[in-house]
Amino acid sequence: MKIKKVKMLLPEIVGRGYKTFWNFRGRYRVVKGSRASKKSKTTALWYIYNIMKHKGANLLVVRKTYRTLKDSCFTELKWAVKRLKVEHLWIFKESPLEATYIPTGQKIYFRGLDDPLKVTSITVDVGVLCWMWIEEAYEVMKEEDFDMLDESIRGECSEGLWKQITITFNPWNERHWLKHRFFDELTGHDAEGKPIYAPRKKPISDDGEILAITTNYLINEWLDKADIAVFERMKRNNPRRYAVAGLGGWGIVDGLIYENWKEESFTLDDIRARHPDLKSAFGLDFGYTNDPTALCCAFVSKKDRKIYIFDEIYEKGMSNKKIYDCIFEMGYRKERITADSAEPKSIDELKKLGLTFIKGAKKGKDSINHGIQWIQDFEIIIHPRCVNFITEISNYTWDKDKFGTVINRPIDAFNHLMDALRYGCEGYMIGNWMM
């Protein structure tokens, strides 16, 4: 196939702030970045450019759940193809998700950890599977899951190729295994034999195998004044959140609200058999531009004091019609859903669309803390596909006053699914199981 040459100035296309990232060839390339830090777009550009440059290279893109790939990495890679003006050289297919470089047949594969056999059983038609991109890696809560992915990049590379895993994620709390593995170094052990870590002083490890960097919105030259204003307001009004969401720092998880929880796979048939008293608890928190609409789908056993989180919606820009369509497609149209009563118009519209059993939460004085206290008396078991719920519950903490003293009020962040859970459980808190 004759390839039409495209003239481009790569620095203009990629932008600034990622020179070391672009040139690094060690095994692990790790980027922790705040919102608007260009980490995903830069990664997508790198892969499209380098697959075309290096004949025989193939890429595997992984997220915790397969269903989240289409609206994230798949879309970013399509964007990168357009930005590089090479649309005529690529085919993107949605069923299953796949991208092919037409001149050579090199491919980009997409897999979710929710189907591990498909991750470890990829056979490429052309060249070698030498590169992997793990997006939103904070979703991978178990280090052994990453080890399984790491081991899947094996075999001999042809000349000019190298094995590399790129790991990108938004700031997460400092307890996550990603911090110790890639951003810290082992300095010794305490009296009990537990390892002691300290932040690595250089972005590249001594053995040259790890590049670990933190990026933020300040290196994004393409943000407009309105985008920057969002971060400036955050800096003034919520310095604690700005340090994480703005500058990309590690979140210091001090004063978690819910600590009695775990991630665990389960089937609805299994938990129904275990808990004859099981009742559904569906809660809906409205959002749109800045906040996501959040639907929490749970089952509650009051007798055994367990809450099972089995599904979720977490998306910005959802109209009421889209909310209805999504709930309908998930098979939950006939469920009793308790929604945020601050939006009665939306509740009425959803009811007219077909959510017959939706109602507004009663709330009331001190309803937030009352709901939290009620839920704290339960063990929360979260299905691995509920990645946004895991994100929120891992970061949902009590707020602090200006002196740093913890106060009896949750932070106004990581609370959309947390609020939805409270709404869903509201009827059960007052003993009315059929509300």
Task: Give catalytic residue positions.
Answer: 136
Which amino acid, 107?
K
User: C-alpha angle 278/280/285, rounded to 5°?
Assistant: 150
Q: For residue 432, what is the DSSP state?
A: -
Question: For helices 320-330 and 344-353, what crossing angle results, to 10°?
Answer: 50
- Cα→Cα distances 385→64, 115, 251, 324, 413, Å: 7, 11, 23, 21, 21
Rounded to the nearest angstrom, the gap between the alpha carbon of residue 315 and the centroid of all alpha carbons in its chain is 12
Closest Cα to residue 62, out of 21, 120, 126? 120
Residues composing the chain: 435
Closest Cα to residue 261, out of 392, 146, 420? 392
Which residues are registered as beta bridge partners of 167? Answer: 30, 134
Quick one: tokens of 10?
A: 């790569």
User: C-alpha angle 336/337/340, rounded to 5°?
Assistant: 150
Closest Cα to residue 199, out of 218, 216, 213? 213
CB 329 within 8 A of CB 351: no
Q: Collapsing DSSP states into helix, strand and coil, what is residue 427?
A: helix
Q: CA-CA distance, 374 to 368, in Å (whole number)?
A: 10
User: C-alpha angle 404/409/411, rounded to 5°?
Assistant: 75
Q: DSSP of 1-37, one letter per residue?
A: -PPPP----HHHHH-SS-HHHHH--SSEEEEEE-TTS
Quick one: tokens of 39?
A: 């980490």
